[in-house]
Chains A and B, each alone.
Chain A
Amino acid sequence: MSQLEIGPILRALLRNKVGALLIALQMAVTMTIIVNAVFIITERAALMQRESGLDEDNTFYLTSTGFGANFESRRVISEDLDLIRNTPGVVDAVQINAIPISGGGWSMSLTTEPGDDVEDVGTANYLVDDHALTTLNANLIAGEPFTASEVRWRARNQPDWPDTAIITRALANSLFPDTPWQETVGKTIYIGDDEPVIIKGIIEKLQAPWIGWENLEHAMLSPERMDTVSARYLIRTEPGDLNTMMATLEATLSDRYPDRIIRDVTTLTDTRERSYRHHSAMIKILSLVMVLLVVITAMGIVGLASFNVNRRRKQIGTRRALGASKAAIIRYFLLENWLISTAGIALGVILTVGLNMALIEWFSVRPLDWYYLPAGIIVFWIIGQLAALGPALKAAKVPPAVATRTI
């Protein structure tokens, strides 16, 4: 009994083509969905792993909107910042124009030479003051931080930029691909075609506001406060003090001036959750679909295999009576399932690649990495064998005496 009974199994399968075909097709389509779903899930999970650079667990922001003719925005902003920074429990705070990973912000294009026909690099712009690095949890890896004296006021709709900037390492690398980032400090870059700005420092990491943007790691800090009635403050607290600080500061700031509204008090954790919500939803939905699909397909295989066993009880009994061991019966059914699975998996590989190509064509999905296919093949062989094991064991229990009855 050392050789496998592939010949008889194939001939038996040909007599029951439809049943085998159904299992094979079902495995093929299941594999197509699951391999593509796992791929999409892995991609999305990798996106969600990216870090903004901020101390997200201990950072929140709020907006102060003044109204009425007597509202002095510059005075209010300066006094607010002093108050917030001197509140025990606050590490540091800045006025900022946009919140990283929140979805809304400013961007500009930068060039290394003046002129509008030069290759440009897009960046997110954050308008902050000399307290930016501690508030943003940014690690300065080259150059100098901003000083209080270089922070200027930007009037409403004032279009020009300060002379200095701190940029992220990723932005330095994109602007000067041939120069090590340490040496880009002191170089001049041009913002909006022809306005020169000198790189004062490099920080290790800070993300842009748009998580779907290809230049997510490009950010530029400018030393300025904005003269605006609607000011946004980004506040970093001591670990564990976030909730108390949110409540305290909202109340204190609201009470301080009657002609303003404090609104949108939001944590960075909530912002991340909202920005990445559609990715996390996709992951959860696809995972559920995968589980259900595997269960349905496995139950289908079990159902059909049991039916095959029942139908062949007499044949099995006859084989047992003629001397086949239990192991031989089990091997027969497992091998039969393996042949069917393999045909299904072969078709599944083609369909998987086909669906992936369709998704690339119609939606922004990346091509599948090659190793997903061998992994899928192995997993589906195992699923097929596990589903067939129960019925095969049942078949092995058919007593040889069955052969002698009803003939």
Chain B
Amino acid sequence: MFSYYLRLALQSLRRNPYLSSLMTLAIALGIGASMTTLTINYLMSSDPIPHKSKQLYYVQLDNWSPYSAAREPNDPPDQLTWRDATQLMSAAKAYRQSAMASSGAVIESGNPDIKPFLASLRLNFADFFPMFDAPFLYGNGWTSNDDDKRVPVIVLSKPINDRLFGGENSVGRYVTIENTQFRVTGVLDNWVLVPRFYDVTTDAFQSVEDVFIPFYFKQTLQLSNGGNTNCWKSPEGEGFEAFLQSECVNFQMWVELPTPADREEYFNYLNAYAEEQKALGRFPRPINNRLSDVMQWMENEKVVADDAQIMMWLAFLFLLVCLLNTVGLLLSKFSTRTSDIALRRAIGASRQAIFTQYILESALVGVLGGLFGLILANVGLIGIRSLYGDFISELATLDFTMISVAILLSILVSILAGSYPAWRACSVPPASQLKNQ
């Protein structure tokens, strides 16, 4: 029976090529627009570390001015001061913890054929690598002992290892930064994080840094500040050390807390720490510390751009227009077939059979529209990539989930669109249209 209905549906679609292509086009455009924007939103808001995102917490302390909040309405600053970052690290109250900062420096390899170049740096602690599941190609990260003793060690990203050492296992070899020889302890494999959640204070869709070195080298080498530096009062005194001891925030910190009880305990510790600082004359605002897990932090930092969301909602409205359009067109199409239906009913077809046949015809339009819509969505994503430039290119691909969503959505939409017209069609009374033939 199914193949018979399918044949009838195809015949019927061919009979009105203008109407059929108009309906298919409408569904395709609606699906294309919705899928393009949905994909962007889905990927922007995807969980970058699903198995652990509920155990990793971003730390915020409110060291801000008594007269105004760091961010309206009453939010603490999105980064920490050097003082707080290093003191929380020394306390080591979490299962794993890493303060961090971004910077840049010139790297010299010692090989005269390779010109020195400027690399992006991440300054972090040993826990950073296991905490964020950094994939190693060669070697490992460094140890906490290296952190404390300020041992010049370095982890290279794969592109930098390719550039400096031609992709060989470079563990144990040296590179020079600011006249200091850093020993390579590990080389990362390709590490794509979308978004690059460990630091979203600037652009959330950058790639991971070129090289990683221990955090305290910020102080040893007086490295420049990457990202945003915000101060509510000027440093007291001059020089690099005055900046480090000031109320200027430029550092991020993550902790790993495996259970809710750990979280509770760590949060209490933060509050006690803030009280301690109040006793020292810092932290003039009421206590306002935050521990946000990965997804809360992404939400807080508005990683999904407003524009992407506005476009998604407009695209859904667009799909609604296409749906209404298709209902209207199906209604017209089916009503030209009343005599046909009446004849079939008169010679014994049940209402259900008529209904099934017409719903199948709508679903066929939906599948065709959906397939065509997927092509349009791909074109749309290419368009978005070219409009927004490189930084979003990691995002703009359709994966299996999105393809299934597209097909299901288009079938759902077309069945929704077809059910009223099909119901109208199957309620044509038998023989009513036969008499004036």
Contact = CB atoms under 8 A, between A and B. Distances in A.
Nearest to B178: A67
Interface in B85-133: 105-106, 108, 115-118
Contact of A22 (B106, B324, B436): B324
Interface stretch (B269-277, B301-309, B425-433): B301-309
A158 B115 CA distance: 32
Contacts of B238: 155, 157-160
B296 interface: no
A69 interface: yes
A89 interface: no
Interface stretch (A3-11, A73-81, A274-282): A274-282
A30 B224 CA distance: 52
Interface stretch (B252-260, B327-335, B403-411): B327-335
Interface of B is mostly: helix
Contacts of B294: none
Given A33-B321, A297-B321, 19 more contacts: A23-B328, A26-B325, A33-B314, A67-B116, A157-B243, A261-B118, A278-B305, A281-B307, A282-B307, A285-B384, A286-B311, A289-B33, A289-B318, A296-B322, A299-B325, A303-B332, A304-B329, A355-B317, A359-B310
A335 interface: no
A286 B315 CA distance: 10
Interface residues of A, number: 60
Interface of A: 18-19, 22-23, 25-26, 29-30, 32-33, 36-37, 40, 65, 67-69, 116-117, 155-160, 192-193, 195, 230, 261, 263, 274, 277-278, 280-282, 284-286, 289, 292-293, 296-297, 299-300, 303-304, 306-307, 310-311, 355, 359, 362-365, 406
B19 A303 contact: yes
Interface of B: 19, 22, 25-26, 29, 33, 65, 67, 105-106, 108, 115-118, 178-179, 222, 224, 233-235, 237-240, 242-243, 305-307, 309-311, 314-315, 317-318, 320-322, 324-325, 327-329, 331-332, 335-336, 383-384, 387-389, 420, 436
Interface of A is mostly: helix
A67 B119 CA distance: 12
Contacts, number: 142
A116 B65 contact: yes
Contacts of A310: 336
A26 B324 contact: yes
Contacts of A281: 307, 384, 387-388
A159 B67 contact: no
Nearest to A36: B314
Nearest to A23: B328
Nearest to A274: B389
Contacts of B25: 296
Contacts of A18: 331, 420
Contact of B325 (A117, A159, A300): A300
A22 B239 CA distance: 71
A364 B234 contact: no
Contact of B235 (A33, A37, A159, A274): A159
Given A158-B238, A281-B388, A296-B321, A364 B420 contact: no
Contacts of A159: 234-235, 237-238, 242-243
Given A18-B420, A278-B307, A289-B314, A30 B321 contact: yes
B310 to A, nearest CB: 6
Contacts of A406: 436
A263 B119 CA distance: 12
Contact of B328 (A278, A282, A303): A303
A297 B314 contact: no
